[in-house]
Chain A
Amino acid sequence: NAGVTQTPKFRVLKTGQSMTLLCAQDMNHEYMYWYRQDPGMGLRLIHYSVGEGTTAKGEVPDGYNVSRLKKQNFLLGLESAAPSQTSVYFCASTPDRQETQYFGPGTRLLVL
């Protein structure tokens, strides 16, 4: 039981490049979340999903897109990366939106 995994662990992009971050969970959770963490800002919600095929915007969705084609996977896309998107990205999942969230190890993204 791997829990929540994220790939890649670290990536460097040039401004304007695109990439996709993958989150996978093996706990059959309905809810999945993408956060970004910046120094002094805590975690801010980018997008989330309440089930396969559904997505919704969080607090800071601009510049990101997501897809949840399979229940176990939640993808975060950056179509045209900007330096302001340099951050650490965390994925989390939970069986119920009110309950404990289980976090992945994070992806460090540097946009030059």
Chain B
Amino acid sequence: SQQGEEDPQALSIQEGENATMNCSYKTSINNLQWYRQNSGRGLVHLILIRSNEREKHSGRLRVTLDTSKKSSSLLITASRAADTASYFCAYSGNTPLVFGKGTRLSVIA
């Protein structure tokens, strides 16, 4: 399987703390994307980082990409209870977008 892997599978933090999720993949990529899924809902796109970029910011989100290690990380700063969701990485190469298995984030108020 080409499926990516997120680490950790589950993460529980206090409101105000930072949350870091990691993603590893197996092939050469054109870009890597992060999506969020609230319970019972469809996925929502958060951020896309291209293979020639190393870091990207969007509000409280910071994404890094290390193509030599085939890995990416998503940092959510100053987390809020509303950030509780599952987070998926997805990468695009020569095949359709491949999704990881996700990290379940719980932010406790």
Listed in ascending order, the chain A residues whose CB lies under 8 Å from chain B are 4, 33, 35, 40-45, 48, 58-59, 90, 92, 97-106
A97 touches B42 (CB 8 A): no
B97 touches A101 (CB 8 A): yes
Q: What is the total of A-B residue contacts with beta carbons within 8 Å? A: 50
| B41 neighbours in A (Cβ, 8 Å) | 105-106
| B30 neighbours in A (Cβ, 8 Å) | 98
Q: How many residues of chain B get a CB closer than 8 Å to chain A's CBs?
A: 22
Please name the residue on chain B nearest to A106 by beta carbon: B42
| A92 neighbours in B (Cβ, 8 Å) | 43
B1 touches A59 (CB 8 A): yes
A25-B88 Cα distance, complex, nearest whole Å: 23
Residue with the greatest number of chain B CB neighbours at <10 A, chosen from A101, A104, A106: A101
Q: Looking at the complex, which one of A42, A45, A90, A106 makes contact with B100 (CB distance below 8 Å)?
A: A42
A98 touches B100 (CB 8 A): no
B92 touches A97 (CB 8 A): yes
A10-B99 Cα distance, complex, nearest whole Å: 24
A45-B48 Cα distance, complex, nearest whole Å: 20
From 18 to 45 in chain B, residues with beta carbon under 8 angstroms from any chain A beta carbon are 30-31, 33, 40-45
A101 touches B45 (CB 8 A): yes
10 CB-based A-B contacts, threshold 8 Å = A42-B88, A43-B43, A48-B96, A90-B43, A98-B30, A98-B92, A100-B48, A101-B97, A104-B42, A105-B41
| A105 neighbours in B (Cβ, 8 Å) | 41-42
A41 touches B101 (CB 8 A): yes
Q: How far is the CB of A85 from chain B (nearest CB, A)?
A: 19
Can you list the 6 inter-chain pairs with the closest CB atoms, starting with the nearest? Answer: A103-B42, A42-B101, A43-B99, A100-B45, A103-B43, A98-B92
A33 touches B48 (CB 8 A): no
A98 touches B31 (CB 8 A): yes
A97-B94 Cα distance, complex, nearest whole Å: 10
B96 touches A33 (CB 8 A): yes
| A101 neighbours in B (Cβ, 8 Å) | 43, 45, 90, 97
| B31 neighbours in A (Cβ, 8 Å) | 98
| B64 neighbours in A (Cβ, 8 Å) | none
